[in-house]
């Protein structure tokens, strides 16, 4: 019985790590495309980690490996990594269904946007402080 429980727990942890890593990779890809990241000389990797941490605070689920949180990671990944779809209406309908409602999709998008803005603020403040110390 203990072995089965241990195997189940290990499988859950591996899945959880994979979902979070996929989300972090999708955020990193978005950050590498951002011109502001280049202009302010912010590390895309640091920005991605910050955004993932910020958005995770407001995602559904109580803890990191909660099945609801894992679903949220998958949905957020899909939301931000959507390339220009052949049928935008169908893609939006699928995202609304995945998130549960149009309001939930809008809330997730707002959460992501707020996370990005907060991380920009933190990164720019650190850059400005470092420049002041050099002087």
**How many angstroms separate the CA atoms of 89 and 54, rounded?**
29
Cβ neighbours around 16 below 10 Å, total: 18
Q: In Å, how far are 12, 15, 35, 65 from 9, measured between CA atoms?
A: 5, 10, 41, 10
Domain count, the chain: 1
Q: Can you read off the two tokens belonging to residue 80?
A: 């931000």
Q: Give the rounded percent of residues in the chain with a pLDDT score beyond 70.
A: 83
Q: Kindly report, residue by residue over 6-26, the tens digit of the pLDDT.
A: 454 444 444 446 788 999 999
Q: Which domain holds residue 105?
A: 2-134
Q: Kindly report, residue by residue over 87-114, the tens digit of the pLDDT.
A: 888 888 999 999 999 999 999 999 999 9
Cβ neighbours around 23 below 10 Å, total: 27
Contacts of 52 (CB under 8 A, 6+ apart): 20, 23, 24, 27
Q: Kindly report, residue by residue over 19-69, the tens digit of the pLDDT.
A: 889 999 999 999 999 998 998 889 999 999 999 999 999 998 877 677 888
């Amino acid at each position: 019985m203990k072995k089965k429980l241990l195997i189940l727990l290990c499988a859950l942890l591996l899945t959880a790590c994979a979902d979070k890593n996929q989300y972090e990779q999708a955020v990193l890809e978005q950050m590498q495309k951002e011109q502001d990241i280049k202009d302010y000389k912010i590390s895309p990797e640091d920005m991605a980690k910050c955004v993932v941490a910020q958005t995770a605070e407001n995602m559904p689920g109580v803890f990191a490996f909660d099945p609801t949180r894992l679903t949220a990671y998958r949905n957020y990944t899909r939301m931000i990594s959507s390339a220009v779809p052949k049928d935008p209406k169908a893609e939006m309908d699928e995202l609304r269904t995945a998130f549960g409602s149009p309001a939930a999709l809008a809330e997730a998008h707002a959460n992501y946007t707020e996370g990005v803005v907060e991380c920009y603020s933190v990164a720019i403040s650190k850059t400005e402080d470092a420049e002041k110390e050099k002087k």
